[in-house]
Amino acid sequence: MTTVSDKTGLAPGTLIHVGQAPDTPGRITAIDYARDFLEEFEVHRVEDLLPCRQRKSITWVNIEGLNNIGFIESLGAHFDIHPLVLEDILNTHQRPKIEEHEQYLFLALKHVSIDPDELAVDYEQVSMLIFEDFVFTFRERSDDLFQPVRDRLTQEKSRLRGNGVDYLAYVILDNIVDNYFSLQDALDIILESVEEDLLAQPGPETLALIQRVKRELIFIRRSISPVREILTELLRSDSPLIQEKMHVYYRDILDHAIRLLESIDAYRDLITGMLDVYLSSVSNRMNEIMKVLTVFASIFIPLTFVAGIYGMNFEYMPELKWKWSYPVLWLFFVLVPIFLLVYFRRKKWL
Amino acid sequence: MTTVSDKTGLAPGTLIHVGQAPDTPGRITAIDYARDFLEEFEVHRVEDLLPCRQRKSITWVNIEGLNNIGFIESLGAHFDIHPLVLEDILNTHQRPKIEEHEQYLFLALKHVSIDPDELAVDYEQVSMLIFEDFVFTFRERSDDLFQPVRDRLTQEKSRLRGNGVDYLAYVILDNIVDNYFSLQDALDIILESVEEDLLAQPGPETLALIQRVKRELIFIRRSISPVREILTELLRSDSPLIQEKMHVYYRDILDHAIRLLESIDAYRDLITGMLDVYLSSVSNRMNEIMKVLTVFASIFIPLTFVAGIYGMNFEYMPELKWKWSYPVLWLFFVLVPIFLLVYFRRKKWL
Amino acid sequence: MTTVSDKTGLAPGTLIHVGQAPDTPGRITAIDYARDFLEEFEVHRVEDLLPCRQRKSITWVNIEGLNNIGFIESLGAHFDIHPLVLEDILNTHQRPKIEEHEQYLFLALKHVSIDPDELAVDYEQVSMLIFEDFVFTFRERSDDLFQPVRDRLTQEKSRLRGNGVDYLAYVILDNIVDNYFSLQDALDIILESVEEDLLAQPGPETLALIQRVKRELIFIRRSISPVREILTELLRSDSPLIQEKMHVYYRDILDHAIRLLESIDAYRDLITGMLDVYLSSVSNRMNEIMKVLTVFASIFIPLTFVAGIYGMNFEYMPELKWKWSYPVLWLFFVLVPIFLLVYFRRKKWL
Amino acid sequence: MTTVSDKTGLAPGTLIHVGQAPDTPGRITAIDYARDFLEEFEVHRVEDLLPCRQRKSITWVNIEGLNNIGFIESLGAHFDIHPLVLEDILNTHQRPKIEEHEQYLFLALKHVSIDPDELAVDYEQVSMLIFEDFVFTFRERSDDLFQPVRDRLTQEKSRLRGNGVDYLAYVILDNIVDNYFSLQDALDIILESVEEDLLAQPGPETLALIQRVKRELIFIRRSISPVREILTELLRSDSPLIQEKMHVYYRDILDHAIRLLESIDAYRDLITGMLDVYLSSVSNRMNEIMKVLTVFASIFIPLTFVAGIYGMNFEYMPELKWKWSYPVLWLFFVLVPIFLLVYFRRKKWL
Amino acid sequence: MTTVSDKTGLAPGTLIHVGQAPDTPGRITAIDYARDFLEEFEVHRVEDLLPCRQRKSITWVNIEGLNNIGFIESLGAHFDIHPLVLEDILNTHQRPKIEEHEQYLFLALKHVSIDPDELAVDYEQVSMLIFEDFVFTFRERSDDLFQPVRDRLTQEKSRLRGNGVDYLAYVILDNIVDNYFSLQDALDIILESVEEDLLAQPGPETLALIQRVKRELIFIRRSISPVREILTELLRSDSPLIQEKMHVYYRDILDHAIRLLESIDAYRDLITGMLDVYLSSVSNRMNEIMKVLTVFASIFIPLTFVAGIYGMNFEYMPELKWKWSYPVLWLFFVLVPIFLLVYFRRKKWL
């Protein structure tokens, strides 16, 4: 793993993959399509893409795995991509952002997935370059995240086939943002389980769980919140790559992003409330413990004292000689606890 | 029930009803009116509405129940409604919003009702499409929420009859926002009952109640707060559908929404204050318990020690032989507690 | 008393007095004045005001008591006042606001008074309509709030007589905002008494007081804070009713309002600090109690054990026969507590 | 002392000195200067200033003590100063502000000084009127706050002499804002002493000190924070009194003010952290106390019980007759505490 | 060391070095370069730089150590630098800022380094003056912070050599901001160690550490946060010194700064969460202690009482004579603790 501070001192624009090096080898696939044809092929060199440039078609190139630096450098050279953009694609500790360049739009986003059982959140940087008739997507992993997009492309009558790169970009973005909602579902499940814990038997591990959820919410928020800015900027910009009539679609993603962020804020408020409940349950338990101690001590300490009195060895203790002393004392031993128990019950301690 | 994440992967614009499927069958009614006539009829197919389109009249179509997807699709086709709008109407997990389209305005709002006894808050999405001479309202439930609007329409002399779709839309919106005030009344009742609990006998269930109120306030705020943005945007827009002279009415709703949001914020502050009171009452009770323990222990432990001394079996303990030892000791046993009780009373522990 | 939610379902613009019905009958007085004359008279019907309309004079009509709906309706008709404005005048649960209409300005404010002994805050809605040569003020109560304005009017040489409606409106507004400062004085007194309580003997009633002050501050802030927006909007507007040269006066009121709001925010911070002090004093008292318990228990429990040893009845306990055992033990009984007391004093527990 | 609410009901513009009446008599001095001459004289009547008006020179008039209302009224008349400005000069409970009038700029600021030993913060209102060739400063006290300015003026070659009123005003302002930094130094000292207290022996008086610092920070912030707005407005305005080339100087003061405000915010965060430390030290002390109690009680209570057993008077207790019972029991009395002490040490209680 | 308040009363623009006086003597080096040549030399007098002014080259002058006031004054005279800028360069308690002057841009930044073991954060002010073909950097220390820039300059083919002052300034800025990321790494390490402490054995020193981290985060944030404003202003300005095509580079630094600030905010949230964990662990430990006390006391206090009963010396106590009394009592002494232990285990106290 390479971290960002390892890059300190390097010339800006130096291409190094910063992030968790994936075990799987990278894979580059391209789909070249127009309304009436579709071709899918694997790409080995940038030159494989050049024929598509001639045709009046849209080409979506999906680069999975970021350790093929040679390919990315060559891509930069052929498509005249700014070195800082290439650097941002490879540096996966990037803040999600959008950049308008003359020939293309650059977007960097986070694909966030969660395993609710282990509360393990996984972040993957997904970058996108939108050219006039090319869309490049860069991913760290190889999985089926983009399968629904591919499926829809293969249907000849889908709206996707009849529209331009802006619609393709929208569908890809929408796919990523839609995935955030399964995040929300997972968080719902987790919060519910925290709540059950709180009702049942809250212990230090409940606190640890609350803190972990809080922490993950901080990081999830940080990954998702820039999506709002990105889309706002996209809608405000007058890039010729995004047609006016597409705005209604992008605004739809924006709405989803805002709703999601509001949910995350609500989750933070809820988890803070749960922390309050936990802390107060600790206090309540302390009260319980103290009540038991106080009841035991208050009942038996006075009685022990009385027993102590008649354990004294004075010669002149007339009561010791009386016949009824002992039974009367037993009566006392029985009545005092009863009286105290009634008193404590009145105080709602029992 | 269908949740949002079930939609993940579907093509954008795919029409599926997301939300709690209502048990009651849907019902579609239309009121076609002008200043001098009014006709109310049930709608079975979109074609039933076409005659109204010819007439110079205003038609209000109220669609109750969102599972009649066929009708909504057909509506979309006839009235040229954007597929994403249709999707938003059916997806009831929508954030309240406004969208200006060329031919119509689209509004999505939440109707919020509360059962103060059970603290059960119910959210229903109410969408509205405002065309030049059509207003469509889409609801999940079938109840008398719009009855006051209908009543006013039937009065021939009501201002409603003499005005356009903008006034009708205003009356419907006003009806929804006015209902929020009964929410406020319910919250007043609930907060008062929490306060009574706090004064009487606060227990863990008081805390649970406080947390539930806090939580519901978070969700209610989230549903109502976008109303402010919606109305601000509506007033700022120059849609020809809303006449300038109607602005004073919409501003009135805006004022109500702002006041309501301020109330909800005040409620949140109040409930936070109640949490403080609760937590401090737990501490106070602990103090009470500890005082009882301390008083009992401090009085009887020293006395027991003294009794223990004279319970020892040394051969040379002159006091054991003295005649007045025992009575003098009793005096001691009586005076020490009196002294300590006075001391504790001075400390305000008793 | 009528509440807002009772109005739910009524046609917008329906005139109903919402608020606490005053016991005293309403009273309507008018002062018609110009630089060289002044006439004060009671108004029974709107028609009484019509002669003033002809004259080149300024007329200030003060309506006290809002249950004379007939008069207000008639006023609306004669002066062409928008029905929603009339509704707002009568609905005293209004948020303070300003509305510019073509012929007039509408202002709604809160007059806030406080009884520092009982911490009883009283809110009264004061509405104002500013026409070209008419000023209407609407109040819920009949008292001498406006007496200083009236007094100044009767002085022939006062600046008030030589200026227009904008100056009259300013004087009335200034009068209301100046009254907020006695609020500030009252709050100072209340906060000081809370502080004294905290230093002396803080108990649950101190907490209750803190919470009440906090709560009242929330509500007072809500009533005063819109004054800032109102004045900012008034200064920004280019209503011909407020002359440019009057702006310096209105800005002065704005400054006062801002200063007041800052004071209220400071009070909220102070009261929060007091809550911290209270909570920590509860903890400190617990510490005190525990110290007493610990000192008593730590001294006497070991001694009791030693006494217990020599209370055992073993046949072979040589010490029991020794002559000096008992005095030596007494020495032990005296020295151990001294040692422990010194130890506890070192720990600053005593 | 006159307070603001005493003014309630007076005509706006009525001149009354609101503030702490100074014991020292007021003093009015003027410095009339140009690049090549400088004259300093005491002013008794406004008429004394009139000759300066003729000359092409800059006159700085410093009014110390605000009870000479006659002079200020006369000043208002001669220099055509708005009555509300005069009122603001005399009302020292003013919020710092700037006002642009046609002929002059009006500034009101707070001079804040602190006595770190007593944590006594002193606020003095300093007002300034900037005319084309006059600068008036109004102070409540008579001290050497402006001595550095005066000193620099007397140096013939100082930049001050060669520049206009805007530079003089800048130097005066800079003098006031620079004084805020000694405030910062004093706060540093105070916070350090609080921290030392926290490390040494935090008690209720530490909490009281923390609360006082917090409170003073609230008030200091309130006095300094408007300086930022004032300077921003001054820089944004296009008043001919402040030349463009002076902006760099004023921006410098603005930078200082921002830095100071950030420091105060940091102090607030620090003092809040100290409160957390204090509260947690109270909890820790409670833990200490409880540990002592628990150690004593857990060791001796079981032993006392065992001693109690062999203090029983049953006839058939075979152990009582055994020769080794007593020594064996002593062994037990020694081993059990050792075992428990080891156990508690393992738990890190000792 | 000179502090800011020592400057109070001095004429603005007086040159005094405010800050920690460095032990090392200052050092001034210059690099004069163009695409095809590079000369590095030490500078002793400003006049040494004049030849560079003639040539069409870029000169980077790096001034290390700020006590050579003579040089800086002379620099100001030769390059026509505003006296306040010179003052800001020497006053190292400056808030980071940017100032556009006619001939040059002035930037002041903080270089922040941290020693993670000691949590010692070190701040150094780095100022920069950007002229048309000169860049001056002013530092307090002499170290290899700028070594990477120098290295890159010496490579003839580096992009640095072919670009203007704006690119040089960018590389220097980038170097400073990149260093902030090692700060982030250090903070990661520190936070992890705090977390380990919290899991292992949190004590008062953990709290002290948490508070120190919190405090350092406040100060780090204060030093870094203005970088965002500086870059935003730089990008918004239309200074001819920064070419349009360089904006993409500066925006890259801006992105880094924003990401860093978000991280610091996240750290603050995390450390607050850790404080919660710490406080709750204190409460939990108290619970543990109380449980031990309660278990011991609840078991042995009743037993001691029973033993006390049969230690009484009444003549008529029939049980004392019975043969099985003692064994039966032992059974009781064994069964009661077992019963209580089971009960406490059920309550999860053991």
Do the Cβ atoms of C222 and C264 come closer than 8 Å?
no
CATH class, range E289-346? mainly alpha
DSSP class per residue in B42-85: E-SSGGGGHHHHHSSSEEEEEEE-S--HHHHHHHHHHHT--HHH
Distance CA C144, CA A137 (A): 75
Give the confidence band of E311 by pLDDT, cuts at 50, 70, 90: very high
Q: Model confidence over E87-102: pLDDT tens digits?
A: 999 988 888 999 999 8
Residue B21 has pLDDT above 70, yes or no: no
Do the Cβ atoms of D74 and D1 come closer than 8 Å?
no
Query: Is E22 near chain A, with CB under 8 Å?
Result: no
Interface with chain B: mutation pick from C285, C290, C301, highest number of B CBs within 10 Å: C285
pLDDT cut 90: percent of chain E above it: 55
Give me the residue spans of the domains in chain E.
Answer: 4-280, 289-346
DSSP state of B242: S
Distance CA B89, CA B140 (A): 10
Do the Cβ atoms of B305 and A306 come closer than 8 Å?
no
> A-contacting residues of E 148-187, CB under 8 Å?
148, 152, 158-160, 170-171, 174-175, 178-179, 181-182, 184-185
Q: Model confidence over B282-326: pLDDT tens digits?
A: 888 888 899 999 999 999 999 999 999 999 999 888 889 998 999
pLDDT of residue C311: 92
Residue B208 has pLDDT above 60, yes or no: yes
Tokens standing for residue B314:
């040394």
pLDDT of residue A1: 46
pLDDT of residue C22: 58
Give the confidence band of B38 by pLDDT, cuts at 50, 70, 90: very high
Residue E23 has pLDDT above 80, yes or no: no
The CB density around residue D3, as the number of other CB atoms within 10 Å, is 15
β-strand pairing of B134-139 with E58-64? unpaired
pLDDT of residue C1: 46
Cα C199 to Cα A292, B277, C195, D204: the distances in Å are 33, 19, 6, 10
Distance CA D200, CA B258 (A): 51
- Name the residue among E289, E303, E312 with its Cβ closest to that of D305: E303
Do the Cβ atoms of C290 and D286 come closer than 8 Å?
yes
- Residues D159, E11: C-beta atoms closer than 8 Å: yes
Interface with chain D: mutation pick from E123, E211, E315, E316, highest number of D CBs within 10 Å: E211
Q: Which of E77, E130, E162 is nearest to E239 (CA)?
A: E130
Torsion of CA A330, A332, A334, A337, to 10 degrees: -150
Residue type, D15: L
Q: Model confidence over C260-304: pLDDT tens digits?
A: 999 999 999 999 999 988 988 888 888 889 999 999 999 999 999
- Name the residue among D249, D280, D286 with its Cβ closest to that of E207: D280
- Name the residue among A10, A84, A215 with its Cβ closest to that of E252: A84
Give the confidence band of C20 by pLDDT, cuts at 50, 70, 90: low
Q: Model confidence over B68-99: pLDDT tens digits?
A: 888 999 999 999 999 999 999 998 888 899 99
pLDDT of residue A8: 62
Q: Which residues of chain A are within 8 Å of residue B317 when distances are taken between CB atoms?
A: 313
Q: Chain A residue with minimal CA distance to B203?
A: A284
Q: Chain D residue with minimal CA distance to E98?
A: D255
Distance CA A313, CA A307 (A): 12
Q: Say which range, B110-114, C53-57, D307-311, E172-176, has the weakest mean pLDDT.
A: C53-57
Show Cβ contacts of residue E337 under 8 Å, excluding neighbours closer than 6 positions: E299, E303
Q: Chain D residue with minimal CA distance to C280?
A: D279
Q: Would you state the CATH architecture of domain D4-280? A: 2-Layer Sandwich (3.30)
Dihedral of CA D225/D231/D236/D237: which sign?
positive
Residue type, B105: L
The CB density around residue A248, as the number of other CB atoms within 10 Å, is 15
Distance from CA of D46 to the nearest CA of E (A): 30
Interface with chain D: mutation pick from E18, E292, E320, highest number of D CBs within 10 Å: E292
Enter the pTM of the model. 0.85
Q: Which subunits have 3 or more CB–CB pairs within 8 Å of chain B?
A: A, C
- Residues B207, A280: C-beta atoms closer than 8 Å: yes
Cα D327 to Cα B311, E192, E293: the distances in Å are 20, 54, 29
Tokens standing for residue B137:
């309202």
Residue E1 has pLDDT above 80, yes or no: no
pLDDT of residue A59: 95
Instruction: State the burial class of residue D200 (Cβ atoms within 10 Å of its Cβ: 0-12, 13-18, 19+).
Output: exposed
pLDDT of residue D182: 85
Q: Model confidence over B226-245: pLDDT tens digits?
A: 999 999 999 998 889 999 88
> E-contacting residues of D 232-251, CB under 8 Å?
248-249, 251
Cα D3 to Cα A267, C177, C183, D94: the distances in Å are 48, 15, 13, 12
Average model confidence (pLDDT) for chain E? 89
Residue D277 has pLDDT above 50, yes or no: yes
β-strand pairing of E134-139 with E58-64? parallel
Q: Which residues of chain E are within 8 Å of residue A329 when distances are taken between CB atoms?
A: 312, 314
Q: Model confidence over E315-336: pLDDT tens digits?
A: 888 889 998 999 999 999 999 9
Residue B212 sits at the vertex; the CA angle it makes with B211 and B215, to the nearest 5 degrees, is 85
Residue E196 has pLDDT above 60, yes or no: yes
Residue D227 has pLDDT above 90, yes or no: yes
pLDDT cut 70: percent of chain C above it: 94
Sheet holding A37-42, edge to edge: A37-42, A27-34, A58-64, A134-139, A120-130, A105-115, A97-100
Do the Cβ atoms of A135 and A146 come closer than 8 Å?
no
Q: State phi, psi for B345 to the nearest 5 degrees.
A: -65, -40
CATH class, range D287-346? mainly alpha
Tokens standing for residue C79:
């002066």
Q: Which of A270, E306, C270 is nearest to B221 (CA)?
A: A270
Extract long-range pairs of C220-225: CB within 8 Å, 24+ residues apart.
Answer: C220/C112, C220/C121, C220/C183, C220/C264, C221/C261, C221/C264, C221/C265, C221/C268, C222/B262, C222/B266, C223/C96, C223/C110, C223/C112, C223/C123, C224/C110, C224/C112, C224/C180, C224/C257, C224/C260, C224/C261, C224/C264, C225/C261
Dihedral of CA C74/C75/C80/C81: which sign?
negative
Give the confidence band of B157 by pLDDT, cuts at 50, 70, 90: confident
- What is the rounded radius of gyration, in angstroms, for the C-alpha atoms of chain E? 35
Distance CA C241, CA A49 (A): 71
- Residues D3, C185: C-beta atoms closer than 8 Å: yes
Distance CA B185, CA B183 (A): 5
- Specify which residues E62 forms β-bridges with: E29, E137
Q: What is the ipTM score, two decimals?
A: 0.82
Query: Is B309 near chain C, with CB under 8 Å?
Result: yes
Fold classification of B288-346 is: Methane Monooxygenase Hydroxylase; Chain G, domain 1 (1.20.58)
Give the confidence band of B1 by pLDDT, cuts at 50, 70, 90: very low
Q: Which residues of chain C are within 8 Å of residue D271 when distances are taken between CB atoms?
A: none
Query: Secondary structure of E112-149 in the HEC alphabet?
Result: EEEECCCCEEEEEEEEEEECCCEEEEEECCCCCCCHHH
- Residues C315, D293: C-beta atoms closer than 8 Å: no
Q: Say which range, A189-203, D51-65, D218-232, D266-280, has the weakest mean pLDDT.
A: A189-203
Residue type, E347: K
Query: Is E268 near chain D, with CB under 8 Å?
Result: no
pLDDT of residue A340: 93
Length of chain C, please?
350
Q: Would you state the CATH architecture of domain A291-346? A: Up-down Bundle (1.20)
Do the Cβ atoms of C97 and C226 come closer than 8 Å?
yes
> C-contacting residues of D 96-115, CB under 8 Å?
97, 99, 101
Give the confidence band of B2 by pLDDT, cuts at 50, 70, 90: low
Residue D44 has pLDDT above 70, yes or no: yes
Average model confidence (pLDDT) for chain D? 89
Distance CA A119, CA A216 (A): 8
- The tens place of each residue's pLDDT in chain A, 350 residues long, gives 455 556 665 666 677 777 765 556 788 999 999 988 899 999 999 999 988 888 889 999 999 988 888 899 999 999 999 999 999 999 888 889 999 998 999 999 999 988 877 788 999 999 999 999 999 999 988 888 999 999 989 888 888 888 899 999 999 999 999 889 888 888 998 999 898 888 887 888 888 889 989 999 999 999 999 999 999 999 998 889 999 889 999 999 999 999 999 999 999 999 999 998 898 888 888 888 999 999 999 999 999 999 999 999 998 888 899 989 999 999 999 999 999 999 999 888 87
